[in-house]
Chains A and B, each alone.
Chain A
Amino acid sequence: MNLDGKYGLPSRETLEGYRIWDSYFTPSHGHPGADGSSRLIADIERSMHAIKLGCFEKLCYFAHVGLGTTSDADFESLVQAKPETVSIPLERWPDLLIGMIQLNANDVPASLDALDRWLRDGPMRGVYFAGGGPGALTCADTNFYPLVERIAELGGVIMQHTWFKTGGKQGPGESTPSELAELAARFPEQKFLCAHAGGEWEKGIRAVRDSPNILVETSGFDATAGFVEMAVRELGPERVVFGSHLPSRSLGTELSKVTAAEIPEAAKKIILGGNYRLLLGEE
């Protein structure tokens, strides 16, 4: 049965034309496995059908590099002793994956060292600040200032987890789009990615609307209709960046937010890849 271009998924030719770069790939996001990579590898393989179906060119995942971003002391020790385990996925899929490191803003000295180790010396391209777990700290905290300064010097990308949750924050380390706007105002030359557009995106988009150096990322919540239309209307398509949240979310949920949106095709194309390549200096 030929399903190309039918039943909600754009044709293969159209998908290839979008040149999709995924800014938020979350295989085994919280812990890569006791040996440093097995669960991560398994989740990447689990995602491979969707990756091929969507004709993704690149996906960016967020590596734990021994900064205390997990609550597994054995794993943290392992990665500190054998940092080469961090690069295993990149070595296995060198043409497909982009890596960024999960920083721990509670530990500024170690995070600064990690920036030199992984961004200055490569191969990582940016950083991720989590919303939960032992490494989470709200991004309004002054600990972020020296880290952002150094990331800016190194030309790194910053992805900040954000949510506006009904009933309030799930944990003290969680950040909101409003707090990211505060941080971004201090560093007007640095771009920030507002992961999940705050989850409750009507509030999230409005919170960052007047922060021209913040772009919203599209993944991590149900495929609620009207999101990308509002983001494009309020921010412009150049401030919206696609993320897949695979495999815990689906291609259907995340890709359709953009491909099914009532926005021009040119806007879809830059949201699905062009904007992210610009951030990475690839375009």
Chain B
Amino acid sequence: MKRRQLLKAAAAVSAISVKASGEPSPLEIIDSNVSLFRWPFRRLPLDETKTLVAKMRTLEIGSAMAGSFEGIFHRDLSAVNERLAKECSRFPELHPIGSVNPIASGWEGDFSECVEKHRMSGIRLHPGYHGYELDNPNFAKLIVMAAEAGVVIQLACALEDTRTQNDIVSVPDVDISALPDTGACRVQLLNWRPRGSVPSGVYLDTARIDGTDGIASLLATVSPGRILFGTHAPFLIPEAALIRAVHENQLEEGPLRQILAGNVNRLFGQ
């Protein structure tokens, strides 16, 4: 079953559960930010895909947009994306999000493979680790290509707190002030920590929106339609983001459901 069909099926199940019981349906949860395979700097408790998926099931996270940690440092991204697609095909909950490096030779081919061969609904970028700024002309070209192909760009603003990174692989957070006009392209910032204003038109994930009322505070200036649930698992403990979103921020049910699943369905399902 294709990802879009899965999302529609999940939505239908939720709707049926409302009608059958007359009570609010269980929360539908989609994680917009997980990664498969090995974090380069340490083993993680959930870095086996089957273990990660088992945890998702325990937490009632129905599906996840899955990138690859291999996409951070590997140069052969074609092979990285091939392995990711194959791994995700083993687990119906996982939807592959391929890696593209727009300053690497052959990147247009990697993009085409993600879209046409693997039928991915999004791609993930690591400007900090791949070494370019957001005013790079290739990035602007990629935005146009993604918009034309109808795929989401997930832009990883960070992967790890700059204070705890390996001393010889120290990567500053991506400077999003240089983000150009994204036009018709749907762009989601991953692992962004609230600092200053959010660029207009972009989407965020919840992985590093910390503080006991971090999401609620963000909603004072950002529409709930622009915030997507994301955990940054398995690097971060998935319960952390889940507790914050569901329990701690005292969100109204409408915005909560938008953040947990509605926005992901809308963004990736178009």
Contact = CB atoms under 8 A, between A and B. Distances in A.
Contact of B247 (A53, A223, A224): A53
Contacts of A167: 167, 170
A53 B248 contact: yes
B196 interface: no
Interface string A239-258: 00000001111111101110
A252 B232 CA distance: 14
Nearest to A201: B164
B225 interface: no
Contacts of B240: 8, 223, 250, 252-253, 256-257, 260
Interface residues of A, number: 39
Q: What does DSSP make chain B's interface, helix, strand, loop or mixed?
A: loop
B247 A9 contact: yes
B86 interface: no
A207 to B, nearest CB: 14
B241 interface: yes
Interface in A189-248: 199-200, 202, 221-226, 229, 246-248
B164 A199 contact: yes
B212 A224 contact: no
Interface string A141-178: 00000000000000000000001011100000000000
Nearest to B43: A226
B222 interface: no
Nearest to A260: B239
B246 A225 contact: no
B166 to A, nearest CB: 7
Contact of B45 (A202, A222, A262): A262
A183 B253 CA distance: 51
B245 to A, nearest CB: 8
Contacts of B163: 163, 165-166, 199-200, 221
Contacts of B211: 247-250
Tier of interface size on chain B: 35 or more
A126 B179 CA distance: 48
Contacts, number: 131
A166 B166 contact: yes
Contacts of A250: 210-212, 214, 240, 243-244, 248
A28 to B, nearest CB: 13
Given A8-B243, A8-B246, A49-B250, A1 B24 contact: yes
B140 interface: no
A50 B248 contact: yes
A79 to B, nearest CB: 27
A186 interface: no
A200 B211 CA distance: 20
B237 A256 contact: yes
B242 A225 contact: no
A117 interface: no
Nearest to A248: B211
B43 A49 contact: no
Nearest to B207: A222
A92 interface: no
B44 A225 contact: yes
A253 B244 contact: yes
A3 B210 contact: no
A214 B214 CA distance: 32
Interface in B7-47: 24, 27, 29, 42-46
Interface of B: 24, 27, 29, 42-46, 59-60, 160-167, 170, 208, 210-214, 233-248, 250, 253
22 contacts: A8-B246, A8-B247, A165-B163, A166-B164, A166-B166, A167-B167, A202-B42, A221-B163, A221-B164, A222-B160, A223-B237, A224-B160, A224-B235, A225-B233, A225-B235, A247-B211, A249-B211, A250-B248, A252-B242, A252-B243, A252-B248, A256-B240
Interface of A: 1, 3, 6-9, 46-47, 49-50, 53, 163, 165-167, 199-200, 202, 221-226, 229, 246-253, 255-257, 259-260, 262
